[in-house]
Structure 1
Amino acid sequence: MKKLLLITLLFSKFLVSQNQFNAENLTTTRADLELNEFKQDTTANAVVLYEYGNAEIHKKTFNLVLDYKKKIKILNRNGFDQANIEVYLYNSDRKSEKITNLVATTTNIEDGKVTRINVDPSQVFEENVNDNYTIFKFILPNIKEGSVITYSYTFESPFLFNFNSWHFQEDIPKLYSEYNTSIPGNYDYNIKLVGELKLSTNQSDIKKYCIQLENGASADCTIGKYVMKDIPAFIEEDYTTASKNYISRMEYELKIIKGFDGSVQNITKTWDTADDELKQNEDFGKQLKKESLVKKLIDPTLIDQKNELDKAKYIFNYVKNNYTWNGYNRIFKDVSIKDIIEEKTGNVAEINLLLYNLLKRHDIVTYPVLISTRENGFVTTLYPVISEFNYIILRTEINGKTYFLDATNPALVFGQIPFKCLNEYGREMDFDNGSRWIDLKTNTNSTTQHKINLIINEDDTFSGTLTTTKLGYDALDARLLYKKNNQNNLKYYRDKYPDLTFENSQVDTNKNNKSIFTETLSISGPLTVIDNKIYLDPFIFKFFTKNPLQLNSRTYPIDFGYKNNLVYYLQIDTNNKYKIVDKPLDKTIELSNNSGLLNFLTKPKDGNIDLSFRINFYNTIYPTNYYSELKSFFSNIVNIQNNSVIVLEKNI
C-alpha cells in the first residue's frame, strides 16, 4: 500500500511537471519548450520563467558585484525583441562598470529533438552613448515561437552610492524573481520597495565578520532575500503619471559610509543642509534677491492704486505677456534675472523667478516651489534629492487664500499651473523659516458641457446651435487648441465631422479673466430616414468613443490629475410633426463611496425631447481596487454614447 501511494505521488508530480513551466532554476525543461500558452495572461508575448540575482560588495576590491540569471519563454513573434539584451554601464572619473562571464543560450525543439545554440561572440558588443554611459549589447540566435532563452553574467561596479536596484516588474509577466543582497554594516542605505505588489519572501539576517581586513578590522553584513511570484506585466495606459513611480522594484540610496578607521561620511543630506546650499546657489538662491533689477519694469501709476489681488494679477499678466519661455525646464543652470530682462526670453526658472521678484517688490507674500513634473516622476520625501526636481512654480498668499502661479504659458490664467505640474507634492522654499512639503492637488473642478438645440426640418435634415462651455483644465486645453487652429475652429470641426455643416463660430477664450472657454456654432446635417421613421443618434459629440481602460488588472492608481465633470444636453424641437416611437433606456450608475456618477435621462416634453447625460468624477486619484469598477463605468459610458438611438415618426 505504501509503495502504491509513493508511486502515485511520484506520477502525480511527473504529470504536474509536464504541464507547468519550470520556475525554480535556470534549467530549461521539456515542459518549458512544449508549453506555448500562458493562461495567467493570454495577451503576453513572452514570460520570464525564472530570474535570480545575488549582489554583494566584494571583500577585497569593495566593488559592487552582481551575479545575474534569467530565463524567458518566447510565446509568439511579438516576443522576439526579448532576445535583444541591453545593459547600461556607467563610467566617470576613469572608473567604469563592466560585464564579464556572459553565457547566453537559445533552446528549441526541432524535429522532435532539443537543440541548443550559444550566443556568437560577434553578436556581443558595446555602444558608447555619451561621456558617462555605454550600452553592453548581445543578441540571442535562432529565435522562434516557442524558444526558451537563458543568459547569465557578472556585473561589477565601483560606484557604491547606488546599490544595484532590482526590478521585479517589467513589460512582460514573470513567474519568479529573486534578489539576494549582502551589505556590510559600514554601508548604510535607505532601502525602499516601490510599487503596490507585495513580496512573497522578505528575509533579513546578520552574518558576523563577513568582511575581515589584514589589520584586524571587520564588519558584519546584512543578508537580504526578496522574492516575488506570479508578477503581472506593467503595461502603461491612460490616466497615470511616470511609470517609474509604480513599477515594483527595490531601490537603494547610500546614506552613510563608516570607515574602518572610525570616520563617518554623510552622503544623504538633511533639508537644513540642502536649504543652506540652495540659498547660496548662484542659479537659485541668489536669483531670489534681484528686486533692484525689476523695480523700474512696471509703471507705479498703473499698479499702486490696485488692491493686493488685482495688483498680483496685473504683475502676473505683465510677465506672462511680455516674456517668452524658451521651452527649457532647467532650474539650477543658466538662470539669470538680468539676462531674461534684457533678452525677453528664458527658461522656466528665469520666467517664474522674475515673477517672484516683482511680486516681492510689491509686498506680496510669495514662495518659490520646487517640483517634479508628472512625466519626471515623484520626488523622494524622506530626504532631499535635489536632482529629482525639474520645475519651479510659485505660491502666493493673498487675503488668506493660496494661489499657485506659473507664467510660462500665455494660455494659463492667474491661479492655474500646467497639468504636468499636478504631481502630488512640491518643496516650498522659505529660507527664513525652513523649506516644507506642500500639496499640489487642485481643488478646482474641470468641466466640459455641450448644449445642443436642434430643430427637425421637413427636408429630412436638422439644424440648430451648439454651445460648448469648458472650465478649468478643459478650458486650458480648449484655449491651446484654439490658438493652434489660428483662432478659427471651423476647419477643425469640419475635418472631424465631415457629414455635418458648421458655421458662425463665436468664441470667448478668457471670460472675466477666469479659466472659462465658451464657443457657439451653427450646426446642421442630414437625418437617417427609413420607412417614414427618423433614426437619430443623439450623441453628435462623444466624450469617449472607446474604453480607455483595457487591462485585465492594473497595479497602479488611476490618476486623472483633477476632478472632472462631463455634461451633454440635447433638446430636439420636432415642430409638433413627429412623435417618439422609441428612445434609449434611462440609466444611473454610482461609483462606490460616492466617488463618481453617471446619469442618463431622455424626457419627452410638449412635443419636444430633452436628453441629458452627465458624468462626474469626484476623485482626483482612484486606487487600484477601483479599477474593475471604473472599467465597467467607462464601458457603460461608451455603450450609451455609441448605441443610443431616438426613433421618431411623423404624426398622421
Structure 2
Amino acid sequence: MKFILIPFSLLLVFPLFAQNDPTEREVTVEDLQMKTFPSDTSAVAVLLFDKGEHILLGDMSFKRHRRIKILKKEAFNSWGTVFLMEDESNIGKIQGTTYNLVNGQIVRTELEDNAIFRVPSGKRRTQIRFTFPNLHEGSIIEYSYKATEKNGWNRWIFQWDIPTLWSEYSFHASLWIKTPVLLGNIKPTVSESKHDGHYHRWVLKDVPALKDEPFMVSAQDRQASILFWPEGLTWGILHAAAQDFVGYIPQTKGAKTLREKALAITEALTDSTEKIRALSAYVKTQVKWNGICDRIPDSPLDVLKQKKGTAADINFLLGCLLEAAGFKPVAAFLSTRDHGTYIDQYPDATQFDYLIYSVRLKRKDLFLDATEPLLPYDVLPERCLNGKAFSMLYMGYRWLPLTSPAKDKTIVTAEFALTAEENLQGKLTVDRFGYDAFAARSQYQGAEKDKYFEHTLLQKSWTVAQKEALQMEDVNTAVREQYELSIPNQVIVSDNKLYINPYVALREDINPFPEAVRTYPLDFPFQKEKILLCHITIPEGYEVESLPENKNITLPNNAAKCSFNISLDGNRLSVVSNLKINETYFLPNEYVSLREFYTRIIAKQTEPIVLRKKS
C-alpha cells in the first residue's frame, strides 16, 4: 500500500480535500487567506477541483465544474480568462463567481451574461471567452456549465501547468461504448467501473503541475489524461471514411474550373518539378493561411474566392490543382507538434489536426504544404515535423516519416584585420539556409527594414559602418547579410602579447541544457548546422606564439559533431568551426552526453590565439 504524506500546512488551508469531495464544500476564509501553495511555491494558481461528467442516455450531455485559487497576477490571463470551444456541441448557460476576502468577510462577484463573448473560430467552431470580474491576487474563481454534444467525447485531462488538488471525471453510457485509455505516469487515486462497463469514474488527487522542458513536442504527450477510443475502429475504417472528403479529388465541385487553372499555370512547363513548384506558388499567392490547423477542407473554389483559408482548405486546393495537372496527389493526415504525438495502437481521427498532400516523384515521396509563402515548395513548416503521416492511398494506407530536405543552417564568413586600437575590423557575411532563412524572411517581412538587424547576430558594442540584407525575395536561395564593422573586446593586451578570441559569431555563450537531468526525450524538429569561417590578418611586428589545438568533439553514432581547425598561412590566420546536430531525437539517458558535448564546445571557444611582439 502506498501512502502520500500531506504537509500539515496544506491541511490547514484545505483541511478536507484529501478525504472528501471538494465540490460539496463552500469557499472558506482560510481558503482566501492562502498566499502560496506549500507543495509548489512557484505555482501562480492552484486548481482546487475540476469535475466533469458525461451522460449518454439518448442524447449526449456534459457537465463541468471548476474552482481555482489565484495566487499571482501572472495567472490573470492564463486562468482568470476562460476560453471554451463549441465544436459540434452546444454550451448552455455559464455560471461564474469570483470570491474575495474584504475586511474579513467573503465577498462574491457574479459573472454577468454580457461579459461572455462568442466569436467564430474557423469552420464549425465558436470560441466562448469570459474574464472573471473583480480579480485580484488571492481571489478564488469558480465556474460551471452544461453542454449537449453530437459526436461524443474523446479526452479528459487531469493534469495542467498548475497543481491540481482534485480532478474527477465520470461517464455513463447506455447505448454506445468507448474504451478508456489512461495516459501519463500518474495513476488514479480512485477508479471504479460498474454496470457492465457502462459507468466509469476516476479521481486523481494532488496532481503536480506539468513542468515544461525545452525542445519538446506538445505537453499533451505527457499529461495525465484519459483517451476514449471507439471500440472496433481501425485505421482501415478511418482511411475509407476520409476518402469522402479528401480523397476523391476528381469528383470535387468545380473540377472543370480547377483543371483550366492548372493547365494555364503549367502548359508552358515540361519538367514535373517545375510544374509542382508553379502550382504551389500559385496557391501561396492566391490564398492566405488564417493560422488554423485542421484536416477537413471546404470547397476549393470558395477558398479561392475568399482568398484565405485553413491549412486543410489551402492544401486541398493544391491537391486538386495537382490532380488536374496530371499528378496523383495522396492525402495525408498528421498531428502538429503543438497537437502532440499520435498513438498508433488507438485508431482515431481526432489524433490528427492537419492535412497535407504528397506526390511520388523520382522514386521519392515529396510532401507538399502551401500555407507558408516564405518556404520553398518542398519544405514542410516546422509545426508539421512530428513523427509520421497517415498517408491515404486509393487502395489503402501507409505511415510515412515526416522528414524535410532542409535543415537550420547558418554560415558566417569573416575577413578581419587587427587595428591599432586592438579591434577586429573588416567584413562579415552571414548566409542563412533552410529554416534559418525562413525565420530571417519572416522577421524581415514583419518589421521595418532597419529593425530587422536588431534581431540578427549584431551586438550593441559593435560599430557598423554598412549593413545590407540580400536575396529576401527568392525563397529558393539563401538569405545573405553583409556587414562592414569593427568589433571590440575580442582582443586582450597583456605586456607584449595579444590574446585573440576568433569566435566573433555563432558562439555558444551558455549551455542550452542547464539542467543536470532530463525527464523527457529531446525532440528537435530538424537538423542544425553552424559554420564559422574567420580569417584574421596578423599585424606587423607580431608573430604567433601558440594556437589552440585542432579538435573534434563528437557524440556516439555521429549524433552530433563539432570540429575546430586553426591554421596559419604567412601572416593570415584561418579559423574554421563546424557544429552539426545530425540526430533530431535524444532519449533522456542520452541527455547528459549532449549537455557535456555543449560544455566542451563552450570551453573550446574560450581558448585564445596568442600573438607576441617580435624580438
Q: What's the TM-score, normalizing by structure 2?
A: 0.73
Q: Say yes or no: does 1:423 pair with 2:386.
A: yes
Alignment-derived partner of residue 439 in structure 1? 401
* Structure 1 equivalent of residue 146 of structure 2: 156
Match of 2:162 among 172, 175, 178: 172
- Give 2:123's aligned residue: none
Corresponding residue for residue 319 of structure 1: 279
1:376, distance to aligned residue in structure 2 (A): 5.6
Number of equivalenced pairs: 591
Q: Which runs of 5 or more structure 1 residues have no equivalent in the other structure? A: 1-12, 209-218, 257-265, 305-310
The equivalent residue for 1:259 is none
Tell me by how many angstroms 1:199 deviates. Answer: 2.1
**CA separation in 2, counterparts of 1:617 and 1:474?**
14
CA deviations 1:411-461 (Å, max 9, x no partner) are 44353233333233334343x313444322226544222232322245644
Q: Provide the residue aligned with 1:129 in structure 2.
A: 118
Q: Do residues 396 (structure 1) and 359 (structure 2) align?
A: yes
Q: Distance in 2 between matches of 1:540 and 1:496?
A: 10
2:45–2:68 CA contact under 8 A, matched in 1: no
For 1:375-394, list aligned pairs within 5 A.
375=338, 382-383=346-347, 385=349, 388-392=352-356, 394=357
1:176-255 superposed matches below 5 A: 176-194=165-183, 197-201=184-188, 204-208=191-195, 221-227=198-204, 229-235=206-212, 239-244=215-220, 246-252=222-228
For 2:287, give the aligned amino acid. Answer: N
* Mapped contact 1:183–1:222 kept (Cα < 8 A): yes
Residue 104 of structure 2 corresponds to residue 97 of structure 1: no
1:91, 1:360 → 2: CA distance? Answer: 31
Q: Structure 1 residue 293 and structure 2 residue 260: aligned?
A: yes
Change (3 A) 1:167 1:616: same
Q: Residue 462 of structure 1 corresponds to which residue in structure 2?
A: 424
1:342-357 equivalences in 2 (<5 Å): 356=319
The sequence identity of aligned pairs, in percent, is 19
Contact 1:489-1:505 at 8 Å conserved across structures: no
How far 1:574 sits from its partner (Å)? 1.2
Distance in 1 of aligned mates of 2:113 and 2:574: 68
Aligned to 2:415: 453
Q: CA deviation at 1:274?
A: 1.6
Between the aligned partners of 1:152 and 1:353, the Cα distance in structure 2 is 42
Separation in 2 of the partners of 1:558 and 1:587?
26
How far did residue 353 of structure 1 move? 5.6
Q: Which residue of structure 2 aligns with residue 473 of structure 1?
A: 435
Q: CA 1:409 to 1:57, structure 2 compared with 1: closer, same or farther past 3 Å?
A: closer
Unpaired runs of 5+ in structure 2?
Answer: 121-125
Q: How far apart are the structure 1 equivalents of 2:410 and 2:545?
A: 31
Q: 1:226 to 1:547 in 2, by over 3 A?
A: farther
1:306-338 residue CA offsets vs partner (Å, 9 max, x unmatched): xxxxx1222134335555143135775554369
Shift of residue 573, structure 1, vs aligned partner: 2.7
In 2: Cα distance, 1:529 partner to 1:151 partner: 59
Contact 2:116/2:130 (8 A) holds in 1: yes
Q: Tell me if the contact between 1:461 and 1:525 (Cα under 8 Å) persists in the aligned partners.
A: yes
Cross-structure match for 1:619: 583
Are the structure 2 counterparts of residues 611 and 287 from structure 1 closer, same or farther at C-alpha, using a change threshold of 3 Å? farther
CA distances 1:503-522 after superposition (whole Å, capped 9, x unpaired): 586956799x9665566655
Which whole-Å deviations, capped at 9, do the CAs of 1:610-642 have from their partners, x for residues lacking one? 44443322222334565666566556666766x
Change (3 A) 1:116 1:635: farther
* Residues 398, 185 of structure 1: alpha-carbon distance in 2 compared, 3 angstrom cutoff: same
What is the alpha-carbon distance in structure 2 between the residues aligned to residue 408 and residue 470 of structure 1?
A: 21
One-letter amino acid of the structure 1 residue matched with residue 149 of structure 2: F
- After TM superposition, the structure 1 stretch with the greater mean CA deviation from structure 2, 563-572 or 630-639, is 630-639
Contact 2:379–2:406, Cα closer than 8 Å, also in 1: no
* TM-score (norm: length of structure 1): 0.70
Question: Matched residues in 1 for 2:115 and 2:430: separation?
Answer: 56
Report the alpha carbon displacement of residue 72 of structure 1 after superposing the two structures with TM: 3.7
Counterpart of 2:505 in structure 1 is 541
Counterpart of 1:55 (choices 50, 53, 56) is 53
1:500 maps to 463
Distance (Å, rounded) in 2 between the aligned partners of 1:489 and 1:81? 29
Give the structure 2 partner of residue 651 of structure 1: 614
Distance 1:583 1:39 in 2: 54
Q: Deviations over 1:228-282 (max 9, x none)?
A: 64523444x75445555554433446679xxxxxxxxx99993244234226878
Q: Which amino acid aligns with 1:199?
A: I
Residues 1:17 and 2:8 aligned together: yes
Is contact 1:239–1:560 with CA below 8 Å preserved after alignment? yes
Residues of 1 paired with 2:450 and 2:78: CA distance?
47
Q: Any conservation in 1 of the 2:153–2:228 contact (CA below 8 Å)?
A: yes
1:84 paired with 2:77, answer no
Is the aligned partner of 1:573 residue 2:534? no
CA contact (8 A) 1:162 1:253 kept: no
CA shift, 1:24, in A, is 1.1
Q: Any conservation in 1 of the 2:315–2:369 contact (CA below 8 Å)? A: yes
Q: Is the partner of 1:565 in helix, strand or coil? A: strand
| Residues 206 and 412 of structure 1: CA distance in aligned 2, closer, same or farther (over 3 Å) | closer
Matched residues in 1 for 2:241 and 2:282: separation? Answer: 33
Q: Rg larger in 1 or in 2?
A: 1
Written as runs of structure 1 = structure 2, the 5 A alignment for 1:359-370 is 360=323, 363-370=326-333
| SS of equivalent residue, structure 1 residue 198 | coil
Asked if 2 retains the 8 angstrom alpha-carbon contact of 1:162 and 1:254, the reply is no
| Conserved 8 A contact 2:467-2:481 | no
Q: Cα gap change, 1:350/1:200 in structure 2, threshold over 3 Å: closer, same or farther? A: closer
Q: 3-state DSSP class of the match of 1:183?
A: strand
